[in-house]
Amino acid sequence: MSSWPHIRTLEIEDSRTFSEVTLHGLFTALGLCPQLHTLRVPVNLATIDIDPDAEPIQHTSLRSLDLETSKFQIAEAETFAHIISAWLPCVDQVQSIYDLSWVEVNRYLRSSRAATAPYVLRAS
């Protein structure tokens, strides 16, 4: 565990089993990896086990997030997009090669980012 603060890329793949990593576990691990830039893991989103309205502990180095939902569908796409937006401010979208459940999450995430982006004034 002493090397965790130095990890920049973390990829966990195991197509034979379903993930037991929850959102709470995911964000706990992120707290141990302050320099993490790329994360690719399977995650269990059967329930959202963190309070979406809690004060987020922002992880600002993560840029690439690739999640697989195992056998579970994302029931609360808007809530999950809100969590990603608040806790992972530098992640623009969730990548997933095999899972189309993230399309709706990414739509909410783009909408959330657009609503909070500063307006640019242009001279005409």
Summarize the chain as % helix, strand, coil (round to 5): 30, 10, 55
Residue 57: is its pLDDT beyond 70? yes
Tell me the C-alpha distance between 75 and 45, whole Å.
8
Q: Which residue has the higher pLDDT, 53 or 45?
A: 53
pTM here? 0.79
- Helix ranges, the chain (H): 23-32, 77-87, 102-116
Percent of the chain with pLDDT over 90: 22
Residue 12: is its pLDDT beyond 70? yes
Q: How many CB atoms lie within 10 A of CB 14?
A: 10
Provide the pLDDT confidence category of residue 53 given band limits of 50, 70 and 90: confident
CB 110 within 8 A of CB 84: no
Question: For 59-100, how does the pLDDT look when each residue is reduced to its tens digit (9 = 90+)?
Answer: 999 999 988 775 556 768 888 888 999 999 999 888 876 666
Residue count (the chain): 124
In sequence order, which residues have a C-beta less than 8 Å from that of residue 94 and are 6 or more positions away? 65, 66, 67, 84, 102, 105, 106, 109
CB 74 within 8 A of CB 102: yes
Tell me the C-alpha distance between 70 and 5, whole Å.
27
Provide the pLDDT confidence category of residue 124 given band limits of 50, 70 and 90: very low
